[in-house]
Amino acid sequence: MAEAQKMQVSDEVAIRISNMNKWYGTFHVLRDINMTVNRGERIVICGPSGSGKSTLIRCINRLEEHQQGQIVVDGTELTSDLKNIDKVRSEVGMVFQHFNLFPHLTILENCTLAPIWVRKVPKREAEATAMHFLEKVKIPEQAHKYPGQLSGGQQQRVAIARSLCMKPRIMLFDEPTSALDPEMIKEVLDTMIALAEEGMTMLCVTHEMGFAQAVANRVIFMDQGQIVEQNEPKEFFNNPKSDRTKLFLSQILGH
Amino acid sequence: MSDTHAETAFIRTEMLGPQLPPVTERGVVKWLRENLFAGWTNTALTLVALFVVFWLVQLALPWWLNGVWNATSLGECRTIAGPEGGACWAVIKARWHQYIFGFYPQDMYWRPIVAFGLMFVALAPVLYYGLRSGARLVGVVAVLTVVSLAALDHDIGHVVLAAVVMAGLFALAWVAPKRLVYVTLLYPFLAFWLLWGGSIWKPVATLAGFGVMVLVYRLIQPRLGVVMGTATGFITACLYWLFVQGSVTAALAGVPPELVPVNSDQFGGFLLAFVIGVTAISCSLPIGILLALGRRSDMLLIKTLSVGFIEFIRGVPLITMLFTASLLLQYFLPPRTNFDLILRVVILVTLFAAAYIAEVIRGGLAALPRGQYEAADALGLDYWQAQRLIIMPQALKISIPGIVSTFIGLFKDTTLVSFVGLLDPLRGVTQIVRADINWKGIYWEPYIFVGVIFFLICFGMSRYSMYLEQKLKTDHR
């Protein structure tokens, strides 16, 4: 299966980050980041807390601003130009650790809001698309409930469906399972695996090493705001090169 | 082994069904026990409180029960009530119309009555958007309007006309409740015309200014965006109001329909309180929202202006602002500009309330988790879309209690306009009534009357806010 997936990766570049640096005030959070993501590639980013992995993927859709270097997403460079930012954001879907569903709207309205207002899709069409994706994440029956009535796992699946409704070409996941009960982690991971099998370009910050082994083309390990090691999952887990990686892996896989 | 095992291992063979709690833990008994007689202290306090309530009622009740309704002066009241004394409600019976209308001409009472009735029709879609409750409100108000017109107006034509209009509006509210919004949009102009009279073309020409604004916005917005569109539209409309509207109105002067003009100094009582209160309430909310957004803006100029405005207005007493309105503002305007006193007061009261509303809404905005902004951004919504669709609906919902408190405060503060010579119901009208030789020395009754009306209005607002909170509750915590 792993071989088949790797076949889908094309040579087309989806994201290119070169010599990127970011500071929070004077604190240097991201240091000289260089990476390229090809279309169809699935990348897992891991590392200890505070290593800058969330900040990195939040830079990709400009939820955070970088101060130096270049980020090019789908051929559009992220600068302070609002038009470019909006263009990138409508092409890049994002799933958050705390779901961030809109509590005052129903599940269906959560999913149709952006297509209607950003993509100018007619309401009926947007609802049909939303139902399609809600079926895909296996909760069409919750469409008319409010987020507060759903379990964490269901909410996270809705969040995934909401992003998919914008028909994004790239999906970013920021620790999507960290706020969930163990029982619910599986249902969210299953959804993400299904998405990966369809060839979606995915960047995923997660500590789910099983997920990384199953679907990732590449695992990136970050520490102190820099990329310490990246490799294919098999090599990364079985034969880590740097001492920092070995220590990290021994700590999270130790029990 | 099986013996020791029996103590730790347990297998339920039959599931238990639900049962009612014991008698002392349910119904009235539980409520009494928990709320009134929960312990010795609680029981003692309950009994003391009961005694105090009984004592107060026993003191005040004769005064209320002995109330005199038919008399021509306070002296006559006292004679009728006899030695034990009693309330002299006759003063209310004789002067109620001044409390409601001030010195508004008596034969034109139908105009404020119709305006007041239409106000509720205009409010219906705001209070109950798209709901049948709105139609019920319109129905009740329609009946009340027609009944009060029939009682107060001698021209049967007015009554019939009002009945037909109200029936039509009720039908509209019942069939298409959302369409009632158009009534809401037209209402300010209609009410202005009804209350102040004059040529209908004056409010129509003013309304046309908004038409100009929308037209310019539609032309500019696709090319230069929302902000530029709004700004250009607003400036064009202001230019129209300043330089064009005057000649339009002048050209159409004398063209019917026309109503007898009524001067601002004839307004008074609750009519005045409503004109100032309702206008200020409906204008201060949007201004307050903009100020709150301005205060949180990244743009330094906008932020500084908003902070400066809010802090200045909140730091100055309302009475100072009212004196500014009545005296100082005249000095800054070109000579011989006739700038209506009520309008000046409304503007300053609006700005005053807007500053407070802005701070209340800022609290609501601060209470929203950052994730909501991020999710809106990540979906590609622009600033105004995110504010309108995601942020404001939630922030306003959180701020409802604060906003309604501000509105209630604002409505009660309309009585302060007596300091600039307007006839507010509490001080203005009461002073006039007590200046009458027949009612000299009357004290409690007018204040109780005005107080009760204020209470009913403010209590109504408070109940509505609770209904709204309940209706908008979707978090299911």
pLDDT 10s digits, B401-442: 999 999 999 999 999 999 888 889 888 898 888 888 888 888
B254 secondary structure, DSSP code: T
Q: Is residue A97 over pLDDT 70? A: yes
3-state DSSP call for residue B17? coil
- Residues B77 and B80: their CA atoms lie apart, in Å, by 5
For residue B150, is it left (φ>0), alpha (ψ between -120 and 50) or beta?
A: alpha
Q: How confident is the model at residue B366 (pLDDT cuts 50, 70, 90)?
A: very high
- Residues A124 and A134: their CA atoms lie apart, in Å, by 15
pLDDT of residue A54: 93
Highest mean pLDDT: which range of B224-233, B240-249, B353-362: B353-362
Note down the domain range covering B398: 268-477
Q: How many CB atoms lie within 10 A of CB B183?
A: 19
CATH of residue B466:
1.10.3720.10
Residue A203 · residue A171 · CB < 8 Å = yes
Least confident among A92-96, B22-26, B385-389: B22-26
Question: Is residue B94 domain-resident?
Answer: no
Contact residues, chain A to chain B, C-beta under 8 Å: 61-63, 82, 86, 89-90, 92-94, 96, 98, 100-104, 113-114, 117-118, 146, 148-149, 162-163, 166
pLDDT of residue B277: 95
Q: Chain A partners of B369 at a C-beta cutoff of 8 Å? A: 98, 100
Q: Which of A102, A123, A151, A171 to mutate to test the interface with B (most CBs of B within 10 A)?
A: A102
pLDDT of residue A255: 56
- Residues B416 and A171: their CA atoms lie apart, in Å, by 59
For residue A194, is it left (φ>0), alpha (ψ between -120 and 50) or beta?
A: alpha
* A58 min Cα distance to partner chain B (Å): 9
Closest CB to A100: pick one of B375, B380, B394. B375
3-state DSSP call for residue B68? strand
- Residues A162 and A107: their CA atoms lie apart, in Å, by 9
* Closest C-alpha to A205, from A78, A94, A82: A94
Report pLDDT digits (tens) over B161-183. Answer: 899 999 999 999 898 888 889 99
Q: How many CB atoms lie within 10 A of CB B14?
A: 5
Q: Chain A partners of B381 at a C-beta cutoff of 8 Å? A: 113-114, 117-118
Question: Is residue B249 domain-resident?
Answer: no
Pairing of strands A68-73, A76-77: antiparallel
pLDDT of residue B337: 66
Pairing of strands A27-38, A42-46: unpaired
Q: Which residue has the tokens 């470019």?
A: A84
pLDDT of residue B476: 60
Burial of B364 (0-12, 13-18, 19+ CB in 10 A): buried
| Angstrom distances, CA of residue B82 to CA of A245, B91, B94, B315, B431 | 99, 17, 21, 52, 26
Chain B residue with minimum CA distance to A168: B379
| Angstrom distances, CA of residue A158 to CA of A136, A153, B48, B171, B378 | 10, 9, 57, 41, 15
Output A125 or A82, whichever has higher pLDDT.
Answer: A125
Q: Which amino acid is at B68?
A: V
Q: Encoding tokens for residue B355? A: 């500053």
pLDDT of residue B104: 92
Q: How many CB atoms lie within 10 A of CB B115?
A: 21
Q: Which amino acid is at B305?
A: L
* Residues B299, B300, B306, B308, Cα dihedral to 10°: 180
Q: How many CB atoms lie within 10 A of CB B26?
A: 11
* Residues B465, B470, B474, B475, Cα dihedral to 10°: 90
Residue B319 · residue B348 · CB < 8 Å = no
Closest CB to B389: pick one of A96, A101, A117. A117
Question: Is residue B219 domain-resident?
Answer: no
Q: Is residue A6 over pLDDT 60? A: no
pLDDT of residue B1: 47
Q: How many CB atoms lie within 10 A of CB B400?
A: 17
* Closest C-alpha to B167, from B145, B189, B194, B185: B145
Which secondary-structure segment (H or E) carries B251?
A: helix B245-252
Burial of A166 (0-12, 13-18, 19+ CB in 10 A): buried
Q: ipTM of the predicted structure? A: 0.90
Question: Is residue B394 domain-resident?
Answer: yes
pLDDT of residue A144: 93
Number of domains observed in the structure of chain B: 1
Chain A residue with minimum CA distance to B370: A100
B439-459: burial string, b at 16+ Cβ within 10 Å, e else? beebeebbeebbeebbeebbe
pLDDT of residue B4: 53
Calculate the average pLDDT of chain B. Answer: 89
Q: What is the mean pLDDT of residues A129-152?
A: 93
The percent of residues above 70 in pLDDT, for chain B, comes to: 97
Q: How confident is the model at residue B142 (pLDDT cuts 50, 70, 90)?
A: very high
Q: What is the mean pLDDT of residues B326-346?
A: 78
- Residues B364 and B396: their CA atoms lie apart, in Å, by 6
Question: Is residue B423 domain-resident?
Answer: yes
Question: Is residue B288 domain-resident?
Answer: yes
Question: Is residue B273 domain-resident?
Answer: yes
* Residues B193, B194, B199, B200, Cα dihedral to 10°: 60
pLDDT of residue A2: 45
Q: Is residue B267 over pLDDT 70? A: yes
Q: Is residue A4 over pLDDT 50? A: no
Q: Is residue A101 over pLDDT 90? A: yes
- Residues A237 and A209: their CA atoms lie apart, in Å, by 9
Cα end-to-end span (Å), chain B: 49
pLDDT of residue B285: 95
* A54 min Cα distance to partner chain B (Å): 13
Q: How many CB atoms lie within 10 A of CB B433?
A: 20
Closest CB to B380: pick one of A96, A149, A166. A166
- CB under 8 A, 24+ apart: contacts of B444-449: B444/B87, B445/B87, B445/B88, B445/B89, B445/B91, B445/B92, B446/B91, B446/B92, B446/B95, B446/B99, B448/B87, B449/B92, B449/B96, B449/B99
A168-184: burial string, b at 16+ Cβ within 10 Å, e else? bebbbbbbbbeebeeeb
Chain A residue with minimum CA distance to B225: A83
* A87 min Cα distance to partner chain B (Å): 7
- Residues A122 and A143: their CA atoms lie apart, in Å, by 18
Beta-carbon contacts of residue B221 (< 8 Å; ≥ 6 apart): B228, B229
Q: Encoding tokens for residue B126? A: 């705001």
For CA atoms A140, A141, A142, A145, give the dihedral sign. Answer: positive
Question: Cβ contact (<8 Å) for A146 and B385?
Answer: no
Question: Is residue B355 domain-resident?
Answer: yes
For CA atoms B97, B100, B101, B107, give the dihedral sign. Answer: negative
Closest CB to B374: pick one of A100, A114, A163. A100
Q: Which of B223, B372, B379 to mutate to test the interface with A (most CBs of A within 10 A)?
A: B379
Q: How big is the CA angle at A17 (ends A15 and A18), to the nearest 5 degrees?
A: 145
- Residues B270 and B276: their CA atoms lie apart, in Å, by 10
Q: Which residue has the tokens 């404020």?
A: B112
